Structure 1
């Protein structure tokens, strides 16, 4: 990935103090991208591990699906929580804490004696890896404030390349690790990654003093713990329902709605709400972006997990071969992100990405147990195009639509909705595959993905607010093209 990122950022020329001529402190890039990569790597590396883990513990796909959902549940809860803490206390403390927890989770997972302990390790991984992305978005916004100009488009592009396309390295890396050291190596890899992240964080992230309020209150008292608790309970109930749709647990959606209503009521009354639902409700473009993220990642992760399991069990490939089949997805997405990153073109990217997802889902339908390898690769290459477009466009949309003072929590919420999509995808994989990932289950999953892709396209076509996000490929040079960095660019949202 380093060569691709170098090409993305090659227009930067260093100035004094190791900073590029446009003012962005490039020393922040390594910890930003390392921290942001921890979650997508762990999200995808498990895809080729599910079959050998299931064989080791005698667990069917319906049970091993919890390895996916456990991480996403923890991350869906932890992302906005970490984002809010970063907004209040700065990124360094939370980055280091989360990275250390990632290393601990790697040790627990490597030594797990049964599936339950392994699921617990994935929960720890979810909480540990959820600080990197909000910290990166906070640093980009704080650099814009420091320099008095918008950060270069290449910075957001590099972050998108890291967070959205690095996930596709996971299956190939996982296949290699399994071939060398078995499935436990896919957990152990977090130990050196965490040590590297800790080194970069200690060396390069700026220390942020704890802010002091004029009224003498410590900022920790501004944390909305009841709101965070209700948010977590609602997500847990929703996950349990999605993971067992045919189980007859009718009370779970009732509890989800009840705790969700309690959460909204709490946030409307809180002095410092965890999620400011008044502002969020008045910012319909941002809400629409979160909805698109959910739909987008339903398709992305249903493919990542479902298609990979099918290539192993339905098509008969080994774990390392299944990982290699996914590799063109990474290469295609990197090229697309690098070529399109300098221009925002948010609406155009989302439209092209939606069409690409529809085409990729349609190509799953003719696949069967004897399909030639070139057909398997063709599906992956086609999906690589929307993989490179959608993540970049969604990230840019949030960056311009969110309130600057809550960029950490807003970025965390983007990940939360993405992981809700991943949880839905995981539940769909378990429901359609049952005891084995066969071709019939893949075709049912493809129709489900196709429906989500069509809905994603419809939501994008009807959203006029996307036209208001300005397209400034050289926004670091022209003062007239530089928005006020103390508040988000004008996206037509209402404010309350």
Structure 2
């Protein structure tokens, strides 16, 4: 790899790591934000919801838009947006403005994730596979060390540092990207000039994006508001019905439009692919319920400091990183199913261990559950991707990948919703045990799904 290629890799890597880093660092700051703003967990969880809703919408939209606007331009714009959001978030006068900054940050970092891999595929003509694997390390590594970094920053500064720490990464990425990423293809620029705004919005499926966003946000507001107040008011009921209506219109629209935001027709056409995505939703629900729930439990119930919480959470990331290459070799020999079954068993054992925790359990014992979930995440990272490739025809590889990412974000949002509802806005030892029991049941369902699908496949052969 020559110097220019190395510079391109570093600039893209520094940019794309910002999305997983910022989605994971916040996990150890939830308890601190509750104290600062005087909010319960349900209200503060919007700092998680807002980021993932924005990412779920922005990444596929920006991926499409890059064909019109240009990938280099999208990447550089994403860096500018991320810089502005990270600079302004610490100055937020209230929690509402912090949520706005978080949404802007999510959109900016999603712009880089959406085009980062494409930039490497287009401009790295030698050792492309190695280059893509390096980018995967940037993404998985950032997600793995995020809670530890967040814990260190909270220990020595305060929650504002979680945003400020992005600034040197953004600046370095921008300077390198400006020099190393080649200009966009002039032919693409000419094609962009021929498409009207109306055609562009139709091609981007602006109607579908709007209906999807309104439906998802309205339903979350209705559920969380009802849970927080303890009663179903007329306003909450109306908001929930609005969300259901918007999602119903969204589904109808997606089946009719020529360029859907989420191609639902693919699910009907490829049932095996549908099951992969359903399983991926469940996998992410289980993993992120632990990922976001455990730090708040440790800090609010067991009174563990942010730094030591980050240290404990590092177990999760390190086990995940260690398991991934082993999973790759195993899956190459045996296919994804055995690894996915073992992953589900580990999640079941880890969830069961969480359900046994009480106020006298040694804090360090949570490392056992974290190790089980970390290894399972490493197996799932490779195994679910392999299952996706195995069950999606080559001609819809791009569509299948987009649906896969949507399933990831849906599972993440459901995990936060589950945690908020079970905890009733305030973490307690009893609430965390209930969460552990629910996760145990869901993990057992995941085992059944993997074994059932394996039998169905053998029967079909």
TM interval, shorter chain, is 0.7 to 0.9
Structure 1 residues 48, 81: CA separation in 2 closer, same or farther (over 3 Å shift)?
Answer: same
Structure 1 residues 216, 90: CA separation in 2 closer, same or farther (over 3 Å shift)?
Answer: closer
Q: Quick check: 243-252 or 58-67, which moved more?
A: 243-252
Q: Distance in 2 between matches of 1:459 and 1:372?
A: 34
Q: Is the 8 A contact 1:364 1:379 kept in 2?
A: yes
**Which runs of structure 1 show a deviation greater than 6 angstroms over 4 or more consecutive aligned residues?**
403-406, 465-468
Q: Is the 8 A contact 1:165 1:334 kept in 2?
A: yes
Paired residue total: 445
1:56 is matched with 36
Q: TM-score, normalised by structure 2?
A: 0.85
Relative contact order, CA 8 A, sep 6+: which one is greater?
1
Q: Distance in 2 between matches of 1:390 and 1:170?
A: 19
Q: Distance in 2 between matches of 1:200 and 1:291?
A: 39
Matches within 5 A, 1:427-438: 427-438=417-428
2:262 is matched with 275
2:66 is matched with 86
2:367 is matched with 377
Q: Post-superposition shift, 1:407?
A: 5.8
Q: Post-superposition shift, 1:333?
A: 1.0
1:423 is matched with 413
Residue 81 of structure 2, aligned match among 101, 118, 122: 101
Structure 1 residues 264, 57: CA separation in 2 closer, same or farther (over 3 Å shift)?
Answer: closer
Q: Does 1:260 align with 2:250?
A: no
5+ residue gaps in structure 2?
none
1:66 is matched with 46
How big is each residue's C-alpha offset from its partner over 1:4-30, in whole Å with a ceiling of 9 and x where there is no partner? xxxxxxxxxx4xx569xxxxx666543
Structure 1 residues 371, 101: CA separation in 2 closer, same or farther (over 3 Å shift)?
Answer: same
Structure 1 residues 38, 307: CA separation in 2 closer, same or farther (over 3 Å shift)?
Answer: same
Q: Post-superposition shift, 1:308?
A: 0.8
Residue 204 of structure 2, aligned match among 215, 219, 223: 223
Residue 175 of structure 2, aligned match among 160, 176, 199: 199
Structure 1 residues 226, 243: CA separation in 2 closer, same or farther (over 3 Å shift)?
Answer: same
Structure 1 residues 143, 292: CA separation in 2 closer, same or farther (over 3 Å shift)?
Answer: farther
Structure 1 residues 156, 401: CA separation in 2 closer, same or farther (over 3 Å shift)?
Answer: farther
Q: Is the 8 A contact 2:144 2:321 kept in 1?
A: no
Q: Distance in 2 between matches of 1:405 and 1:398?
A: 13
2:90 is matched with 110
Q: Is the 8 A contact 2:52 2:409 kept in 1?
A: yes
Q: Post-superposition shift, 1:327?
A: 1.0
Q: Does 1:238 align with 2:219?
A: yes
Q: Distance in 1 between matches of 2:13 and 2:346?
A: 27
Q: Quick check: 108-117 or 192-201, which moved more?
A: 192-201
SS of the residue corresponding to residue 368 of structure 1 reads coil
Structure 1 residues 131, 389: CA separation in 2 closer, same or farther (over 3 Å shift)?
Answer: farther
1:33 is matched with 13
How big is each residue's C-alpha offset from its partner over 1:415-439, in whole Å with a ceiling of 9 and x where there is no partner? 3322222222212222222353221
Structure 1 residues 282, 433: CA separation in 2 closer, same or farther (over 3 Å shift)?
Answer: same
Q: Distance in 2 between matches of 1:347 and 1:34?
A: 33
1:22 is matched with none
Residue 181 of structure 1, aligned match among 157, 160, 173: 157
SS of the residue corresponding to residue 173 of structure 1 reads helix
Backbone CA RMSD of aligned residues:
3.2
1:387 is matched with 377
Q: Distance in 2 between matches of 1:216 and 1:118?
A: 39
Q: Distance in 2 between matches of 1:358 and 1:303?
A: 12
5+ residue gaps in structure 1?
1-13, 20-24, 469-491
Q: Quick check: 250-259 or 312-321, which moved more?
A: 250-259
Q: Distance in 2 between matches of 1:277 and 1:49?
A: 36
Q: Does 1:284 align with 2:284?
A: no
Q: Distance in 2 between matches of 1:418 and 1:396?
A: 15
Q: Quick check: 453-462 or 54-63, which moved more?
A: 453-462
Q: TM-score, normalised by structure 1?
A: 0.80
